[in-house]
Amino acid sequence: MAREYRTLKTEVRLPYEVAYGATWTRFFEGLKDKKIYGTRCKECKRVLVPARSFCPRCFVTTDEWVEVKEEGTLVAWCYTNYRYFGMPIEPPFVTGLIRLDGTDVNFLHLIGGFDLSNFEEVSKTLRNGIKVKAVWSEERRGHILDIRYFEPV
């Protein structure tokens, strides 16, 4: 058994200030107004959500804005009930990939609106393919959590 020596406990915390830019400002402002915006690529015709300034595949500017339905189909989900340092969401919580109606990529967000404390119960409620609908926060500030979660319909 190799000898162990001292350790130094230290934390690193660094300040950053990140710019939204035009496209994302419009997308997040949209959330304040209970609107989910996507953009359509003129070449591949896909509607991408969240809204993008360019299509990553066709590599052209996407400036056709589409107000996307706040309902969609649950494509995949996962249940988190453990902790790590600096977690932004209190566990337990469910994250899902949602194909919002009329879009061509999956949207990542929380699934909620029912008791999440017991995984067995959750797995009875959630099934891939069910319909979900956005539930908005009372107070909205242009933040991804202006959508509180997506609730099974």
Partner 1 sequence: MARAVAVVGVGQTHHGRRMDVSYPDLVREAVVRVFEDTGLSPKDVDGVVSGTMPSMMEGVALTHLYFAEAMQAVGKPILKTETCGSTGVSIAHTAFYWVASGMAEVVLAVGHEKMYEGDSQATMTTVLDPFYQRYFLAGAPGVFSMQSQLWATRYKIPQDKIRDAAAFISVTHHQSAFDNPYAHIKMKVTMEDVKNSRIIVYPIRLLDVCPNSDGACAVIFASEKVAKRLGRKVAWVKGVGYRGDEQFFGDSDKVVWQSAIEAAKQAYDQAGIKDPLKELDVAEVYNPFTYQEMIFYECFGFCEFGKAPDLVLRGIFSREGELPVCPSGGVLCTNPIGATGLIRVAEAAMQVTGRAGEHQVPGAKLALAHAMGGIDQFNGVMILGSEL
Partner 2 sequence: MPRKVAIVSVAQIGGADSKENFYDQAYRVVKEALDKAGISREKVGCVVTAASDIFHGGISCANAYHWDPAGAVLRNGSRQDAESLFALVYGAMRIMSGHYDTALVVGLCKGSENPENDTCTLMFSDPFYFRPLGLNETMAAALQMRLFMDHYGITREQCAKVAVKNLRNALGNPYAHRKGIYSAEEILASRPVVEPLTELECAPKSEGMAALVLASEEMARKLTDRPVWIEGFGTSLDAYWIGDRDLLQGQLTNAAKRAYEMAGITAPWEQIHLAEITEPYAFQELLWYEQLGFCGPGQGGKLIDQGVTEKGGLLPVNPSGGTLAWNPYVSRGLHRAIEAFLQIREEAGERQVHREVKTALVHGTHGFAGQCHTVVILGS
Shortest distance, position 27 Cβ to partner 2, whole Å: 10
Residue of 29, 32, 53, 145 that binds partner 2 (CB under 8 A)? 53
The item of partner 1, partner 2, none sharing an interface with residue 130, based on CB under 5 to 8 Å by kind, is none
In contact, 65 and 51? CB cutoff 8 Å: yes
Shortest distance, position 63 Cβ to partner 1, whole Å: 19
Residue of 57, 127, 141, 143 that binds partner 2 (CB under 8 A)? 57
In the chain, the amino acid numbered 19 is A
Of 64, 52, 60, 59, the C-alpha closest to 107 is 52
Closer of 87 and 130 to partner 2 (Cβ): 87
* Pairing assessment for the beta strands 93-100 and 107-111 based on DSSP bridges: antiparallel
Closer of 54 and 65 to partner 2 (Cβ): 54
Q: CA-to-CA distance for 98 and 130, rounded, in angstroms?
A: 10
In contact, 91 and 83? CB cutoff 8 Å: yes
Residues 75-134 that bind partner 2 (CB under 8 A): none
The item of partner 1, partner 2, none sharing an interface with residue 28, based on CB under 5 to 8 Å by kind, is partner 1
Of 12-20, 73-81, 125-133, 139-147, the window that binds partner 2 (rule: CB under 8 A) is 12-20
Cβ neighbours of residue 118 closer than 8 Å, sequence gap 6 or more: none
Q: CA-to-CA distance for 76 and 73, rounded, in angstroms?
A: 9
> Where do contacts with partner 2 occur on this chain (CB under 8 A)?
8, 10, 12, 14-24, 53-54, 56-57, 59
